[in-house]
Structure 1
Amino acid sequence: MTRDTQIAAVGTYSAATDESVHTVAVDSETGSMRHLDAVAAGPDPTFVTFHPSGEYLYAAVREDEEGVVRSYEVDRETGALTERDGARSGAVAPCYCSVDETGRYLFVAHYAGGAVSMLSLGPDGGIDPPSEVVEHEGSSVDPDRQTAPHPHSITLGPEDRFAYVPDLGTDEVHVYAVERDEPSLSRVGAVDLAPGSGPRHLSFSPDGDRAYLINELDSTATVLDRGSDGLLTERSTVSTLPPEFAGENKTAEIAVHPSGEYVYGSNRGLDTIVTFSVEEGTLARVGQTPTGGEWPRHFAVAPDGSRLFAENRHTDEIVAFDVDADTGVLSRTGESLSVPEPVCMQWLPGSD
């Protein structure tokens, strides 16, 4: 790859035998995308994450009886993927995975399994069986979606000291201390959100003092202050929808611009990316941008902040947008890439 090309990996909804984890090349000048490689990872490898070295890629796969995490060696020049190994994830229906900055541990959230797990990684990228599986308990007010715990993501905070787990089923964000000697997860607390909000994903500000949380069920975004003890305190909550919208909607992804000045969230139903500006610790809506397709389950901001790429699951397409550096507003570049049911896009470390 040249200096003007970035590599990303894409996870999808797919059948077990379909090519389901893809690598793509993204032109840094134009935002154009092209296919590099694809592998059949198993049923619904809906979330992928890179090892910090960029040498390995991990995919969370929804096998029937228990989830699996599969690892692939990555050719940094060509984007080619070579399967290395895999391990059971610790519970059913893994929906999110992340790796700490040291590259020693992998963390998995299981939506239907109601649990999070921690797995050790070898220096060669290999995956050990789970060293810790923590089962959540509780429920909340929504009779269809909140009768049981549903951890929807697990994100490492600044300095990798704590792991943060939004639980859509219980309206909480759990905070775990990451114990590396054991290794294990030690629960240190949780923050309660509005009943029926359905917390899903969160993203930290560049300085790590603040977290931004997107809530799936009531289409809101919450600003949280992070203390030195790792615990979170709610500061404010705003809607991701315009006042005149009266249809059905579910939010999905949230991401902070590298500058820290803007926050983006995806609306499924309205099918937009909402842009917020960060103003004294609160969020102010700047605008709504149609994603050029349907059901944007995820999106990815380029490492340099110049573009945003929306993964429209129901219309099988990734659509590229320019980011206005002065306002954060999005505009379509005219570039897109056909991918069956794309739902996650992650950048190869060091490819920018």
Structure 2
Amino acid sequence: MKALSLLLAIFLCSNLCGQNTFVFLGSFNWEKEKEGLFVYELDTVKGNLSKVTAVKNVKNPSFLTLSADGKYVFACTDSKTENGGSVSSFKFNPKNKSLSFINSQKSGGENPVYLTAHNNGKWLVNGNYTEGSVSVYPVSEDGKIQPFVQNFQFSEGSVIKKRQDRAHIHSTVFSPDFNYIFLPDLGADKIRCYQFNKEKDEPLESCQQPFIKTVAGSGPRHFAFHPNGNFAYVIEEMGGAVSTFQYKDGELKNIQRIFTHSEKLKADFESSDIHISPDGKFLYASNRGAENNIAIFAVENDGTLKTVGYHSTKGKHPRVFGMDETGKFVIVANTGTGRVVVFRRNSETGMLKKVGRKIKIENVSAVQIRKY
């Protein structure tokens, strides 16, 4: 009996002891003297966030991504800075809970908005919104970003001239096998595709299907793959909808388009972020404007979506949100009210419930969650 109890204790400790969940938050701080990049620890019982550390001397770390091993935090920096733009690297030590600056490189275009890291730890891809471009960087073993080796500029726009005068790359998302990368272009109403050959010095190569057109004036923004790898979803900032695609080997086939906002809303909507639960059963999409909420969809067996409901984000202008790897928590960055809000997710119904205390971070704009 004692031996069984000991084995049970060892098992529980191997799964729970030493594991902490950290939340990385970026913001538009506008002044380097102010803290702009933050690390909080998440209490996975009560849902409270406790500040661990923060970084100054970096301007507008507006979007964050983590290396596959969690050692490094990469940020879009100098965002929304005229004639500026950079990408920066930081080292995170979960033992002493420290975050330290490594280096920065020019973004290759004004207003970097989205970064993604290859799972082999050797590459970083950045999308620049204002000038509609994508840059590819080698990353050293110590997390240092090297100067970009490729930079593709796009120019064509679309039908709504006020917002789509030219290309505006809004995200850079690898396929599940990391052999392709997709670039939703809000300005051109296109989802661009490149093959990614990780062994080459210049890894981006044109796809057989170099882009797929979305609905005119829809403004594709963020992109997500289903965990099974057979489906992909794009959220349309201007169209207020999610488009569903069948996916195979770099090719997308549209099979559905469904609105993210309630039927009563005919205007004043601006959709922003999109994530799928780890079990693949639910998709979540955030709305800004008249409805500051998260739309919740059930994912059918054929990949199509069915509306389940909506949940207030308890703040204004939810620019991004994140979901932890267990699918238990959703954390929202309400940029307009500078509030970070934690929700517990019901894995059976998909619905959300606010937990913990709201955290105040002025102009908070990015969320990443990681267990160490």
TM-score range, shorter chain: over 0.9
- Which residue of 1 is the match for residue 99 of structure 2? 81
- Partner of 1:130, secondary structure, is coil
- Which residue of 1 is the match for residue 274 of structure 2? 254
- Which residue of 2 is the match for residue 310 of structure 1? 332
Matches within 5 A, 1:313-352: 313-348=335-370, 350-351=371-372
- Which residue of 2 is the match for residue 46 of structure 1? 62
- Partner of 1:314, secondary structure, is coil
**Structure 2 CA distance for partners of 1:139 and 1:266, relative to 1, 3 Å:** same
CA deviation after TM superposition for structure 1 residue 301, in Å: 1.0
Matches within 5 A, 1:94-243: 94-180=112-198, 181-188=200-207, 189-228=210-249, 230-243=250-263
- Which residue of 2 is the match for residue 60 of structure 1? 76
8 Å CA contact 2:323, 2:369 repeated in 1: no
Unaligned runs of 5+ in 2: 1-15
Paired AA for residue 176 in structure 1: Y
Distance 1:323 1:27 in 2: 15
- Which residue of 2 is the match for residue 5 of structure 1? 20
CA deviation after TM superposition for structure 1 residue 3, in Å: 4.2
**Deviations 1:258-306 (Å, cap 9, x if unpaired)?**
0100000000011000100011321111001011111100111121011
Give the superposed CA RMSD.
1.4
Paired AA for residue 54 in structure 1: G
8 Å CA contact 2:46, 2:356 repeated in 1: no
CA deviation after TM superposition for structure 1 residue 41, in Å: 4.8
Distance 2:18 2:44 in 1: 8
- Which residue of 1 is the match for residue 303 of structure 2? 281
CA deviation after TM superposition for structure 1 residue 65, in Å: 2.5
CA deviation after TM superposition for structure 1 residue 114, in Å: 0.8
Paired AA for residue 53 in structure 1: D
CA deviation after TM superposition for structure 1 residue 247, in Å: 4.2
8 Å CA contact 2:316, 2:335 repeated in 1: yes
Distance 2:97 2:22 in 1: 7
CA deviation after TM superposition for structure 1 residue 321, in Å: 1.0
Paired AA for residue 125 in structure 1: G
Stretch moving more, 181-190 or 272-281: 181-190
**Deviations 1:83-104 (Å, cap 9, x if unpaired)?**
1111112111100111000010
8 Å CA contact 2:275, 2:284 repeated in 1: yes
Distance 2:148 2:325 in 1: 31
- Partner of 2:177, secondary structure, is helix
8 Å CA contact 2:75, 2:88 repeated in 1: yes
**Deviations 1:302-333 (Å, cap 9, x if unpaired)?**
21011111111111111111111111011212
CA deviation after TM superposition for structure 1 residue 208, in Å: 1.2
CA deviation after TM superposition for structure 1 residue 5, in Å: 3.0
Paired AA for residue 155 in structure 1: V
**Deviations 1:102-129 (Å, cap 9, x if unpaired)?**
0100000000021001000001111110
- Which residue of 1 is the match for residue 9 of structure 2? none
- Which residue of 1 is the match for residue 10 of structure 2? none
Work out the percentage of aligned pairs sharing the same amino acid: 27
8 Å CA contact 1:15, 1:42 repeated in 2: no
Paired AA for residue 162 in structure 1: Y
Stretch moving more, 81-90 or 146-155: 81-90
Aligned residues: 349
CA deviation after TM superposition for structure 1 residue 43, in Å: 2.6
Unaligned runs of 5+ in 1: none
Distance 2:84 2:28 in 1: 17
Paired AA for residue 92 in structure 1: E
Paired AA for residue 61 in structure 2: P
Distance 2:194 2:298 in 1: 29
Bigger-Rg structure (1/2): 2
8 Å CA contact 1:4, 1:29 repeated in 2: no
Distance 2:23 2:274 in 1: 18
- Partner of 1:128, secondary structure, is coil
1:28 aligns with 2:48: no
8 Å CA contact 1:23, 1:35 repeated in 2: yes
**Structure 2 CA distance for partners of 1:49 and 1:240, relative to 1, 3 Å:** same
TM-score normalized by structure 2? 0.91
Paired AA for residue 305 in structure 1: G
